[in-house]
Amino acid sequence: MRAVVHDRYGPPEVLRLEEVEKPIPRSDEILVRVVATTVTRTDTGLRGAEYFITRLFTGLRRPKKRILGIELAGVVEAVGQAVTDFAVGDEVFGVRTFGPHAEYVCVRASGPVARKPAGVSFEEAAAAIDGAALALACLRKAGLRAGQSVLVYGASGAVGTAAVQLAASFGASVAAVTNTKNVELARSLGASQVIDYLQEDCTRIGRTFDVVVDAVGKTSFRRCRRLLTRRGFFVATDPGFMWHLFPFALVTRWTGGRRAALGITQYSKADVLLLKELMEAGRYRPVIDRVYPLEQVVEATRYVETGQKTGNVVLTVSA
C-alpha cells in the first residue's frame, strides 16, 4: 500500500510516498481503507521535532513511527475475530495517532472510532475530531455551563472554529478573536461578538468572560487576566505554552480567583459519538480550508506551517 513516510526529523521535504506492507488487524481491530485524513499542527510538530522533549516518545535520533496522521475517515475493509460493532463496508471516522497518512490503517474497535455521520462527506468527517477534541478538553477543564460567556482567541484554526461552535451549542455566549478575512466566518459559526485583532486589542474591550480559550498559543494568562471574571478560567491548548502556563496553573489552583489551566485531550469513543450527534443535528461542522491529494502532502504541510490556514487541511487518499 502507499503511505507517507519519514525516516528523519526535519522540514516538510523529509516526507515521501513509499510502498509499505499493508497492516493486518488484530482480533480487536478493524482495518480501514482511508478515504481522507488531515495534516494537523501536531503532525508538523512531530515531524520537525518542534519540541525536543517529544523525541522521548517518538525516538531520540530518528522517528520510531514512520507514518504520521491523526484523523481518518474511510471504509471498513476487514474486522478482527472479536469485533462485533463493525462490519465490512461500514463507513467510519475516528482517530489513530500515527498511521492515517496511508491507504490502510488498523484501529481498535473499542477506541475513538464510530460510523460516519449521515450526510457528512469523508473529507468533513476526517476533519471533525482533532480540533474539536482539544476544544472540548478546554471547555470541560473550565467547567463551562449554559449561560456563561466565552472568548475564543484564535477563532479561525481547527481548534478555534470548533471551540466557537461547541461553546455556542452548549448554550454559552461566544466572542471570537480573529483576523479581518475571517470575521464573517466567526459570526456564521455562532459568535455573537467578533473582535478583529488587526483593528482592536481584545484585552481593552471593556468586557469580562467566564472562560478565555487560547486556541493558537498567541496570548498569555498574564495578558488576559483583565478579561476574566473574578472566578474566570484561562485555558490554552498549544504545547509550547505548557512551560509558560504550568506554574500559573499550579499556583492559581490553590489561590482561588482567576485560574489558568492546560487543555489536554485524550481521544475517546464517547467524544467521537458526541461529535457525530452534533454534526447530524447541524450544531457542529468542521471548517475545511484546502484539500490536497496524498501525493501533495509536502505542499499541504508547508501550507499548515504558514500558520495561515482557516480550519483544517485535508488529504484525500483513495476514492
Evaluate if residue 28 carries a pLDDT over 90: yes
Residue position matching grid coordinates 489552583: 253
Residues 14, 18, 20, 22, Cα dihedral to 10°: 110
| Residue 251, pLDDT score | 57
| Residue 247, pLDDT score | 53
pLDDT tens digits for range 255-290: 667 888 887 888 999 999 999 999 999 999 999 999
Render 66-132 in DSSP notation, one character per residue. -----EEEEEEEEE-TT--S--TT-EEEEE-SS--SBSEEEEETTSSEEEPPTT--HHHHHTSSHHH
305 vs 299: CA distance, rounded Å: 10
| Residue 49, pLDDT score | 84
193 vs 17: CA distance, rounded Å: 44
**Direct distance between the N- and C-terminal alpha carbons of the chain, in angstroms, rounded to an integer:** 14
pLDDT tens digits for range 78-134: 999 999 999 999 999 999 999 999 999 999 999 999 999 999 999 999 999 999 999
117 vs 140: CA distance, rounded Å: 24
pLDDT tens digits for range 84-97: 999 999 999 999 99
Where are the domain boundaries for CATH 3.40.50.720 in the chain? 131-262
Q: Cβ(153)–Cβ(132) under 8 Å?
A: no
Domain 2-129+268-316: which CATH number of 3.90.230.10, 3.40.190.10, 2.60.220.10, 3.90.180.10: 3.90.180.10
pLDDT tens digits for range 204-243: 999 999 999 999 988 888 888 999 999 999 998 865 555 5
Fold of 131-262: Rossmann fold (3.40.50)
Where are the domain boundaries for CATH 3.90.180.10 in the chain? 2-129+268-316
- Quickly state the pLDDT bin for 246 (edges 50, 70, 90): low
Evaluate if residue 253 carries a pLDDT over 80: no
| Residue 123, pLDDT score | 98
- Quickly state the pLDDT bin for 38 (edges 50, 70, 90): very high
